Amino acid sequence: PAHILGIQAAQQAFPELPQVAVFDTAFHQTMPPHAYHYAIPSTLYTRYGVRRYGAHGTSYRYVAQETAAFLRRDINEMSMVIAHLGNGASITAVKNGRSQDTSMGLTPLEGLVMGTRCGDIDPSIFSFLAANAKMSIDEITEMLNKESGMLGLSNLSNDCRMLEEAAANGHKGAELALDVFAYRLAKYVGGMMVACGSLDALVFT
Catalytic residues: 24
Task: Using DSSP, state whether 166 is helix, strand or coil.
Answer: helix
Q: Please tell me the number of Cα atoms within 13 Å of 106 on its side-chain side.
A: 9
Angle between helices 172-196 and 160-168 (to 10 degrees): 120
**Is there a contact between 105 and 54 (Cβ–Cβ < 8 Å)?**
yes
Closest-CA residue to 99 (of 63, 153, 127) = 63
